Amino acid sequence: MEQQQISAKKLKAMEKVKRANAELAKIVREEKEQLRKTQDRHKYMMGGCVVKYFPDAYDY
């Protein structure tokens, strides 16, 4: 066997690694999206409270 050739087992393992990395990236992306949604909801809620109770502060 030459060094240039890659065995079937190694190809299969490389494919598994590629899929695992893609799945990890997807999970990280989903977690960031969820965090961003939570932060946005809080931001909008706090902004609404500021406008409701401190209407003069809205101009700043």
Residue 34 is predicted with a pLDDT of 96
Show the domain range for 32: 2-53
Q: Is the pTM of this model over 0.85?
A: no
The 3 state secondary structure assigned to 1-56 is: CCCCCCCHHHHHHHHHHHHHHHHHHHHHHHHHHHHHHHHHHHHHHHHHHHHHHCHH
Residue 6 is predicted with a pLDDT of 84
C-alpha span between 45 and 37 (Å, rounded) = 12
Q: Does residue 60 fall inside a structural domain? A: no
- Tell me the mean pLDDT in the region 20-48: 93
Q: How many domains does the chain have?
A: 1
Residue 56 is predicted with a pLDDT of 77
C-alpha span between 58 and 48 (Å, rounded) = 10
Q: Does residue 41 fall inside a structural domain? A: yes
- Tell me the mean pLDDT in the region 17-35: 97
